Amino acid sequence: MKWIGPLFTNSGGWSAYVSFENGSWFIDKDNPVKIGDGRSAMLLLPMMEKGYGKNYEHQINILKTGLRDTGLSEDIACSFPFHVPVVYSFDRAMIRWTEMAADWVQYLHLNQELAQKLYDHCQDNKFSQKTRHKVLKVVNSWANENELSLSC
């Protein structure tokens, strides 16, 4: 595997390198895991924190540069599964992480299933009003553009 990154280095000193191979993204040079499986979502959480991952544009630039340096098309960067840590934080009701995840929703490639899942999470008052409204603004806009109706 050809590794890209690091996307960030966490407070424990672990660096998040990723790889794209056979149409799938992987994380963790030492023990590669397909992003979306196992512990991958947890490993990606710090990417959403400004002090570690900075922001979406910064991450995309790292991915594009890394892909180009490994002989792959930088267009593949747009296929990176940024939704994995976002959804994980909501699924686990990780309040601090959902506040950061809300800033990333605007960059996700939404589909009906993902939009519905985020919409459903935003019906729960355990998440702050600010977080819920930020996510719903994006999700509802996407639903309207696609002439879809999301419901509880």
- Asked if residue 91 and residue 72 are part of one domain, the reply reads no
- Asked if residue 89 and residue 76 are part of one domain, the reply reads no
Position 148 scores a pLDDT of 86
Tens of pLDDT, residues 2-49: 999 999 999 999 999 999 999 999 999 999 999 999 999 999 999 999
- Asked if residue 113 and residue 74 are part of one domain, the reply reads no
User: For the whole model, what pTM was predicted?
Assistant: 0.94
- Asked if residue 61 and residue 110 are part of one domain, the reply reads no
Backbone φ, ψ for residue 69 (5° rounding): -65, -25
Position 151 scores a pLDDT of 80
Using a pLDDT cut of 90, give the percent of the chain over it. Answer: 94
- Asked if residue 103 and residue 60 are part of one domain, the reply reads no
In the predicted model, what is the mean pLDDT of residues 81-93?
A: 97
Position 15 scores a pLDDT of 97
- Asked if residue 134 and residue 65 are part of one domain, the reply reads no
Domain that holds residue 3: 1-81
Looking at 81, 111, 135, the residue that finishes a domain is 81
Mean of the per-residue pLDDT values of the chain: 96
Looking at 24, 49, 81, the residue that finishes a domain is 81
- Asked if residue 5 and residue 28 are part of one domain, the reply reads yes
- Asked if residue 133 and residue 71 are part of one domain, the reply reads no
- Asked if residue 100 and residue 76 are part of one domain, the reply reads no
- Asked if residue 88 and residue 74 are part of one domain, the reply reads no
- Asked if residue 92 and residue 66 are part of one domain, the reply reads no
Number of domains in the chain: 2
